Amino acid sequence: MNFNTSSSPNQDLEPARLPSHVAIIMDGNGRWAKKRLLNRIKGHEKGVEAVRATVRACRELGIANLTLYAFSTENWHRPKSEITALMTLLKTFLESEEKELMENNIRLNAIGQIERLPGDVQQALHKIMTLTKKNSSMLLNLALSYGARDEILKMVKEIAKKAKIGTIDPDSITSELVCEHLYTKEIPDPDLLIRTSGEMRLSNFLLWQIAYSEIYITDTLWPDFGKDELIEILKNYQRRERRFGKIES
């Protein structure tokens, strides 16, 4: 298979200043296929290869947390045939990655409405999450049937219920308490958000968590994304000054 594992000049990267969490909106599979007069599904198949290359690259570079937006709550409105193909690809991916994730000490986690996924996909997901749960070199976090507004609504309902029965005092609700009720409760906020295929929008991804993320949008279509471009983006990230509202230090 044509994985993008070419060795890249990454000596200019400062290991101590790597983002601890990279989140990616993997967009452009359909356009990649259309450009080649292929079926959209071929684009998604090629997109899986870019996922493998990106996971490998992040592990090699030492990124501790990688979140990939693979399927949104809005994506349920696509044609049934495309949804079925995406779910089949997802299941095959989960089954095929066991060895590589174990060998590389990578933990797989999922965020989103997992209960909406087909039963066999849920089973494959639980199997690999259980298998990899003690792995500690990197977290691969897949956003599946994920929508930030859904996540925020879920958090509001949980906190409101606790307030109603008296286990939470509404006056003492903090940002930390909100974070504890999000899918991402165990993960730091993304330092870097990447979107492929040039769209200047967030498409309902991690709205709370990206409050201070650095954003990088590339025109590259997701199936063409790989390690070399990731390194260039990380170099760009390391040249930025993150001020968090303060003045230059």
**Shortest distance (Å) from residue 107 CB to ligand IPE:** 21
Which among ligand IPE, Mg ion, none contacts residue 39 (Cβ within 5 to 8 A by kind)? none
Which among ligand IPE, Mg ion, none contacts residue 201 (Cβ within 5 to 8 A by kind)? ligand IPE
Binding site for ligand IPE (CB under 6 A): 25-31, 69-72, 74-75, 86, 197, 199, 201, 203, 222
- For residue 205, state whether it binds Mg ion (rule: CB under 5 A): no
Question: In the annotation, is 75 catalytic?
Answer: yes
* CA distances to 14, 63, 107, 195, 222 from 213, in Å: 19, 15, 23, 12, 20
**Which residue, 8 or 197, is less far from Mg ion as judged by CB?**
197
Helix (H, G, I), strand (E, B) or coil at 121: helix
Is 202 exposed, middle or buried, given 0-12, 13-18 or 19+ CB atoms closer than 10 A? Answer: middle
Tokens of 122: 């849920």
Question: In the annotation, is 27 catalytic?
Answer: yes
**Which residue, 27 or 189, is less far from Mg ion as judged by CB?**
27
Shortest CA distance to 61 belongs to which of 227, 245, 247, 206?
A: 227
Shortest CA distance to 53 belongs to which of 109, 112, 105, 8?
A: 8
- For residue 27, state whether it binds Mg ion (rule: CB under 5 A): yes
**Which residue, 144 or 234, is less far from ligand IPE as judged by CB?**
144
Positions annotated as catalytic residues are: 27, 75
What does the binding site for Mg ion look like in residue numbers (CB under 5 A)? 27
